[in-house]
Amino acid sequence: MLDDLKYIHTKDAQDALGIAAKQWQMLETTFDLPELNFPVKNIVFCGMGGSALWAQLSLTWPGYNLPFEIWRKYDTPSYVSSDTLLIISSYSGNTEEAISALRQGEEKGAHIVVATSGGKLEEIANENGYPLAKLPKASQPRFGVLAGVKAIVTILEKAGFTNKEKADEILHNTSEFLRNEISNWLPDVPTAQNPAKQLALEIAGTSPVIYAGPLMFPAAYKWKISFNENAKNIAWCNEIPEFSHNEFLGWTSHPVDKPYSVIDLRSGFEHGRVQKRFTVTEKLLSGNRPHPHVVEAKGNTELEHLLYCVAFGDFVTLYTALLNGLNPTPVDLIEKMKKALDE
């Protein structure tokens, strides 16, 4: 089925696989932002769903030299003030939680930067002179994550709040690495040589559970969302070492033939004790849970490992959608939810 290009093109009507194949180009997106000389003591990023994913990824790379929090609620944290850089993110520009957070930030005197492709947020930014990172259009926010990563890197560099020097240049230069890796997972690469198709076939019909250490956990969270939205598949994720202190025991009380697939995202850049926890967990839970599918991150840097895991997960979940007989792009039930809230 996954080598039948006619079937793929029929089911993937909006060409999600084609978008995933070109996502490396988003790392070359440029944003026209002024220098952001804000005298702040903390950073709060407000966004929902795919519009918050890139902030999650930025925790691994490039990192922050100020306290940073991702906020997925209508109300801003109580500490938001004139000492706060408030980044408001919504790919559509119409996410009601993000707009609510922006209005509260205004009342509290926060320094506001907006990242959006249009909508109400772009209007508000233009009316009030807020710095605006104008995102390129994407059919769904989850397909524009890497453009968002480039946006937040640009914002951080303009404000001087990143742990990495020349982060924007490094991100741009990493695009060729990602392009080369993606070429191994394209639809015209047969299943026998395509690890993304192989993994999708192995986990089809199950509920995936994705585990990762702190550095790769943002990618695990991206896998979880992509299984939900691309494959319409329930999925979960958790982070090691936290997993070892609670969820670890949850696998021990039932037979091994649980209706789950376990996926471990591993990186040699993780703390040595985290890497050992993967090995020990696999040994101690043998016979109590499905044997994990191990995804070894590739590349020479933390950033390359992170982007490798993100992009590989996109292809695995898109192929899972096709195995489920579904078009991966639409999220009709989410749209119905938004309309019902307005009635």
Q: Which residues contact 221 (CB under 8 A, 6 or more apart)?
A: 53, 56, 237
- Characterize the bridge pairing of strands 42-46 and 68-71: parallel
Helix (H, G, I), strand (E, B) or coil at 40: coil
CA–CA separation, 146 and 268 (whole Å): 23
Residue whose pair of structure tokens reads 């994720």 in the numeric block: 237
Q: Which residues contact 153 (CB under 8 A, 6 or more apart)?
A: 58, 62, 162, 167, 168, 171
**Sign of the dihedral defined by the CA atoms of residues 188, 194, 197, 198, in that order:** positive
Domains 5-12+185-323 and 31-173 share a fold: yes
CATH 3.30.465.10 for domain 31-173, yes or no, is no
Question: Considering the entire predicted model, what is its pTM?
Answer: 0.94
Token pair of 276 as six digits: 């050992």
Query: Domain boundaries in the chain?
Result: 5-12+185-323, 31-173
Give strand pairing partners of 168: none
Cis before 195 (ω within 30): no
Output the tens digit of pLDDT for each of the chain's 343 residues.
Answer: 999 999 999 999 999 999 999 999 999 999 999 999 999 999 999 999 888 999 999 999 999 999 999 999 999 999 999 999 999 999 999 999 999 999 999 999 999 999 999 999 999 999 999 999 999 988 888 889 999 999 999 999 999 898 788 888 899 889 999 999 999 999 999 999 999 999 999 999 999 999 999 999 999 999 999 999 999 999 999 999 999 999 999 999 876 677 999 999 999 999 999 999 999 999 999 989 999 999 999 999 999 999 999 999 999 999 999 999 999 998 888 778 878 887 7
The topology under which CATH files domain 5-12+185-323 is Rossmann fold (3.40.50)
Element (H, E) at 324: none
Residue type, 22: K
Task: Return the HEC string of 41-80.
Answer: CEEEEECCCHHHHHHHHHCCCCCECCCEEEECCCCCCCCC
DSSP assignment of 99-155, as one string?
HHHHHHHHHHT-EEEEEESSHHHHHHHHHHT--EEEPPP-SSGGGGHHHHHHHHHHH
| Per-residue pLDDT reduced to its tens digit, 164-182 | 888 888 998 899 999 999 9
Nearest 10 degrees: Cα torsion 319, 325, 327, 328? -40
